Amino acid sequence: MEGIVNSYSEQKGFGFITQDDDRELSFYRSSIQMDGYKRLNGGDRVRFDVAETIGGPEAKNIRKLDSSKTGMH
């Protein structure tokens, strides 16, 4: 799946992604797959898996997409 990061709180380690079909998913810092400091910003385009959890669907295995490949700047 792909979508856009709506918001992310570094202090809480928690955020939201809007999928391309307009559904919103929550995610945790531990689900961000990147080297170094794990940080996403609102507006970042990401690819991810969806996992069903007790609290509802969550984004997992989140990878930030290169903006030059998505046409976004």
Tell me which H or E stretch contains 66.
Answer: none
pTM for the predicted model, two decimal places: 0.85
pLDDT for residue 70 is more than 80: no
pLDDT for residue 66 is more than 90: no
**CATH entry, 2-70, from 3.30.1330.60, 2.40.50.140, 2.60.40.740, 1.20.150.20:** 2.40.50.140
By C-alpha distance, which of 30, 61, 58, 35 is closest to 48? Answer: 61
Which tens digit of pLDDT belongs to each residue from 16-52?
A: 999 999 999 999 999 999 888 788 999 999 999 999 9
According to the model, what pLDDT value does residue 73 have? 45
CA angle at 51 for the pair 64 and 33, rounded to the nearest 5°: 25
According to the model, what pLDDT value does residue 71 have? 52
